[in-house]
Amino acid sequence: MFEYMKKSFLTGVGLALRSKKEIEELAKEFAKKSEMDQEQAKKFFEDLHAKYDDTKTKLDTKIEEHIKKAIKKLDVPSHSDIKDLADRIDKLAKAIEQSKK
């Protein structure tokens, strides 16, 4: 039963959507109620932090992918597109200046 509850607690998006402080508080309460010894509680916290960081990273990556797709669909120029245009304008301006001399 304890392992099932632990796995449920560590899963997915619900974990990533909570703040790290919230997760720590929930974990402390869970450890206390399940009467873990100090070593089990320490391991649980470590597992929880690792899972939180991993899930958060994956969620952030997914969000970035969806944002990039939306921007591409909307045909909004990217930062690099704008920088490329600015560079081309600078080159043209220099070429014009050179041709006037």
pLDDT tens-digit series, residues 2-52: 555 555 555 655 666 667 777 777 777 777 777 777 787 778 778 877 887
For residue 47, what pLDDT is reported?
Answer: 82
**What's the rounded Cα separation, in Å, for the pair 23 and 76?**
37
Best CA proximity match to 81, nearest among 69, 91, 72, 73: 72
Using pLDDT thresholds of 50, 70 and 90, give the confidence band for residue 85: very high
Rg of the chain, C-alpha, whole Å:
25
Using the 8-state DSSP alphabet, how is residue 76 labeled? P
